[in-house]
A and B are shown apart, each in its own frame.
Chain A
Amino acid sequence: MNANEFDVIIIGGGITGAGTQRDCAMRGLRTLLIERSDIATGATGRNHGLLHSGARYAVNDPESAQECIRENMILRRIASHCIDETDGLFITLPEDDLAYQQTFVDACRNAGISAEIIDPDLARRMEPSVNPDLIGAVKVPDGSVDPFRLCAANMLDAKMHGGQVRLHTEVTGFIKEGDTIKGVHTRNRQTGEEVDYYAPVTVNACGIWGQHIAEMAGVKVGMFPAKGALLIFAHRVNNLVINRCRKPSNADILVPGDTVCIIGTTSTRIPFEECDTVAVTPDEVTLLITEGAKLAPSLSSTRILRAYAGVRPLVSADDDPTGRNISRGIVCLDHETRDGLKGFITITGGKLMTYRLMAEIATDAVCRKLGVEKACQTADIPLPGSEEQSYEAVAQKIWESPTTAQKAAAARMGTRAARIRTGDKRDDALICECEEVSVGEIKAAIDRLEVSTLTDLRRRTRVGMGTCQGEFCACRAAGLLVKAHGCVERERADLEDFLQERWKGNFPIGWGDTLREAEYTQWVYKLVLGL
């Protein structure tokens, strides 16, 4: 069989695509994943990183709520190194209707979500950053999830099951024979190399961009792009997720993640053409800060690290071209039955939280087409790195008396952190001091996780995600990438791209310490280093 032939081609390196590739690969299929940029660059990496308990949807969308709590419990088992089991609070503020609390709790319980009304005093003790004026609180099993890590772990597992991955490669067209999709034309965006790949089934897992891919294949999938803006604060102000106990609205979720916390989100319809260039507006920043301070008042004086926005892949129902009836649920379209186009499936809608279920549904559809009968195992077999439940235990096993940097590495890599213990002191040297990322961890990422740029590296290791936003670590890491890839010219451009990408998220909130840091970065790179 030709090296460019596979059982299934998956387009899209977000969490849905990576999850689908893992599932397909675990069921014995020969898989290829194609992504035009890097993993987790779309909605996957541009949300709260909230491990929903489902409580947010319990009142209005019980079906989503049930999906969430089921997947929540599964992810705790299979993706422990990507998950922080924080729990969450739904708080009622004086201006909210306390009567809603009972409706909320009843709906949660009906959906199978444990929801416990607690005394406001206890809530203040459990979460000292919470607005002290709260008049009601409900505790639910929310948590946080690192979408980059989750996506990388799925991709890695797919590779360990024989899957192949082509990042920075875009699909330029489909190979069609009659009414059947036989494969794709692709072009590597870094090298310009054009390659055709063949498979009896192709899965469109491109989120909001799935509309474009479907169009290219000759079918119509109506997406309704809804932009959501979020802010990252430089400190982990809260340890529990804090939500407002009311009908879901703007900026009413504060999620702690790693060393930071994230407030969001807004929801604005945007034209499809703007999906690639979404930016956060000053009005959105103001709204997020004002509403965020209602959840945790200290946010109003906490340094903001970045502003960013993503586009939700909402799908309009087939019989509703106006888009009024928009579903937030999972949508799996078999274009053979829907449009008479064979060998093509679209999986979209859904949430980061339900990616595994989406992948299972898509893989079931793929297997049906291929006549493969093999059960899904993704709910039972842990992702690589998640074989142990606690990162402290992992670090202890590897290092005996681990340093904070080693613990941080174990938290990021899970059991895979064993790979970076080389006994060579030089591998312990820190490249990123904010996030404590060592030479060894960066080498391991370059080695196994398909890194071609600094931004790719950031998504896999947190290099440059800390308070200095890459000021020092970017050029240190660039040195390591030159060593790995051997091209200085490319790395120079890459370094510029990385700084530009950091600045994009900094200038919308460019005041106070953020501006200080930005001025310093400008000085260092322009006047001192001479980029």
Chain B
Amino acid sequence: MRFDTVIIGGGLTGMLAGITLQKAGQKTAIISTGQNALHFFSGSFESIKEPSQRIVELFAEAGVRLHYSPGVRLLPLGTFKESALALEDVDIFPTPKFARKVLIVNFSGYHDFFTSFLADGLEKQGMTCRLRFLSLPELETLQQSPSEMRSVQIARVMDRVWEKVVQEVRVLLKDEDAVVLPQVFGLQDTSVPGRIRQGIPAHVVFAGTLPPSVPGIRTLILLKQRYQLLGGTYLMGDEVIRAHTHEGVVHSVATRNLDNHYIEAANFILSTGGYFSKGLISNPFQVLEPVFGLDVEYKEDRNQWYNPTFKEDQPYMHFGVKADENLHALKDGKPLENLFVAGSILGGNRPEFGFAAGQCIKTALFAADQILKK
């Protein structure tokens, strides 16, 4: 099998790079283990402060609607954080006080939505809050099993019965000018958040829940559909087990499922993520990149990996693969000319790319552009 570009890692980074390259006429493949950070995506690209037509369009073509409006967004524990670019159903307000009176609605028996923390946070901003719980018979089946009342399971039900939520909320609503609901809408039917907003005569805010993130998984589904529609080959549930590199050039990789076939390509992008998705692995002595054995920036003294205070910045989270200014991966100090590093596997301090989801977007586009420039 031969491709123009093979992308290892199918999260936000890999998918955006793949879409960009497919759009430019390349033949690409994405190899994905299936675990990625979109499963706990907040819905906002924090580090992107400036409007970017290119990014908004790229997402829009996949059916993922973003909005750009610098301000603050509401977090699940009732605090606010600066944001500018976010998914359409993730509100960004000019100031934290987004309403006078707020009705916070949760589903009875759902523990992953933190109503009392939200109410406390909103009241601190001078808003009056009222908490109400909905008991929908449609959710009773989930409650038969003690571990089914989770975001994605509820979202699957909500795709069918969201209109009932609208009706119930309309009954509950008194003089509130805003309603806060858990982010469990629009998993498959992406029109649902918008239609809920239309149906309720108050401003509707969807606030985050414990992962899995419904907006994150929706984004993943849409990007993957778009990539496949463009003709990309998405190898799901597979992982690279060997790579063949010769004189600074990567020739091919072999995967667990296609062990006998070498997947060859002119260029490769490594976007396997951090520790969580096993882009980086660690043992008591070192931090490693397992696919190519690339150079990793980390501290040799393990005591310097951590800050003993949980809430402080943790040095280990900045470790990652070394790359030159054009994102060529470094191995034994030398750049591999056709292997690009993108996303959260990238090590070191690279402020030009931002951080978190913002870094994923920027490095994905940068790496794809480098390949297309060749």
Which of A's residues lie within 8 Å of B, judged by CB?
282, 285-286, 403, 405, 425-426, 428-431, 433, 438-439, 472, 475-476, 478-480, 482-483, 488-489, 491-492, 496, 499-500, 502-504, 507, 510-512, 515-516, 518-520, 522-524, 526-531
Contacts and interface: CB of A to CB of B under 8 A. Distances in A.
B306 A529 contact: no
Interface string B184-198: 000000000000000
Interface stretch (B156-164, B224-232, B308-316, B331-339): B308-316
B317 A472 contact: no
Nearest to A473: B111
Contact of A529 (B76, B281, B309): B76
A438 B146 contact: yes
Contacts of B25: none
A500 B276 contact: no
A426 B143 contact: yes
Interface string B41-78: 01000100000000000000000000000000001111
A511 B284 contact: yes
Interface in B266-310: 274-276, 278, 281-284, 302-303, 305-306, 308-310
Contacts of B46: 527
B210 interface: yes
B49 to A, nearest CB: 16
Given A528-B40, A528-B211, 5 more contacts: A430-B147, A479-B111, A492-B117, A510-B305, A510-B306
B114 interface: yes
A523 to B, nearest CB: 6
B257 interface: no
B281 A512 contact: yes
B311 A526 contact: yes
Contact of B77 (A439, A492, A504, A523): A492
Contact of B146 (A285, A430, A526, A527): A430
B309 A426 contact: no
Contacts of A475: 77, 114, 210
A526 B76 CA distance: 11
B146 A428 contact: yes
30 contacts: A285-B284, A405-B146, A425-B143, A425-B144, A430-B147, A439-B111, A475-B210, A488-B78, A488-B116, A489-B120, A492-B117, A496-B310, A500-B310, A500-B311, A503-B310, A504-B308, A510-B302, A510-B305, A510-B306, A516-B276, A516-B278, A519-B274, A519-B276, A519-B317, A524-B210, A527-B42, A528-B208, A528-B211, A528-B213, A529-B76
A524 B308 contact: no
Contacts of A512: 281-283
Interface string B114-148: 11110110000000000000000000100110110
B120 A488 contact: yes
A503 B147 CA distance: 26
B333 to A, nearest CB: 25
A524 B40 contact: yes
B232 to A, nearest CB: 27
Contacts of A439: 111
Contacts of B243: none
Contacts of B147: 429-430, 433
A485 B117 CA distance: 13
Contacts of A438: 146
Interface in B77-120: 77-81, 108-109, 111-112, 114-117, 119-120
B316 A515 contact: yes
Q: Which 8 A-B pairs have the closest CB atoms?
A: A530-B75, A488-B120, A503-B310, A507-B306, A426-B109, A476-B111, A530-B79, A511-B282
Nearest to A405: B146
A429 B108 CA distance: 11
B316 A499 contact: no
B77 A519 contact: no
B308 A507 contact: yes
Nearest to B116: A482
A483 B79 CA distance: 19
A476 B302 contact: no
B37 interface: yes
A282 B303 contact: yes
A128 B282 CA distance: 29
B167 to A, nearest CB: 23
A480 B278 CA distance: 34
Nearest to A501: B310
A530 B302 CA distance: 28
A144 to B, nearest CB: 27
Nearest to B114: A479
A475 B211 CA distance: 12
Nearest to B120: A488
Contacts of A489: 120
B154 to A, nearest CB: 13
A488 B316 CA distance: 32
Contacts of A425: 109, 140, 143-144
A505 B140 CA distance: 39
B320 to A, nearest CB: 12
Contacts of B166: none
A531 B283 CA distance: 29
Contacts of A472: 112, 210
A285 B283 CA distance: 13
B143 A429 contact: yes
A431 B147 CA distance: 8
